[in-house]
C-alpha cells in the first residue's frame, strides 16, 4: 500500500536521525571554530594607512 511504513523503515529512520545529529554537531563545531578565528579581529580599530595587520 502506498504511504505505509515498510518493516525496515524504523532502522532507516534511526540511521537518518543519527546522520542528521552528526552533521548538526560537525556544522556547529565548524561554525564555532570559524567564529573564534574571525572574532579575534572583530572590534579592532581600523588600520591606518601603511599599518600592517596584526
pLDDT in tens, 11-52: 889 999 999 999 999 999 999 999 998 887 776 666 677 666
Rg (CA), the chain: 23
Model pLDDT, residue 39? 81
Written as nine digits, the cell of 28 is: 556547529
Model pLDDT, residue 44? 67
The answer to whether 53 and 47 have CB atoms below 8 angstroms apart is: yes
pTM over 0.85: no
Burial 26-36 (b: 16+ CB within 10 A, else e): eeeeeeeeeee
Answer whether residue 3 shows pLDDT above 70.
Answer: no
User: Using CA of residue 39, residue 40, residue 45, residue 49, what is the dihedral sign?
Assistant: negative
CA 29 from chain center: how many Å?
6
Model pLDDT, residue 12? 87
Model pLDDT, residue 47? 65
Amino acid at each position: 500500500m502506498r504511504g505505509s511504513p515498510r518493516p525496515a523503515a524504523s532502522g532507516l529512520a534511526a540511521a537518518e536521525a543519527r546522520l542528521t545529529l552528526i552533521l548538526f554537531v560537525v556544522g556547529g563545531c565548524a561554525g564555532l571554530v570559524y567564529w573564534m578565528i574571525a572574532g579575534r579581529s572583530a572590534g579592532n580599530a581600523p588600520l591606518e594607512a601603511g599599518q600592517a595587520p596584526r
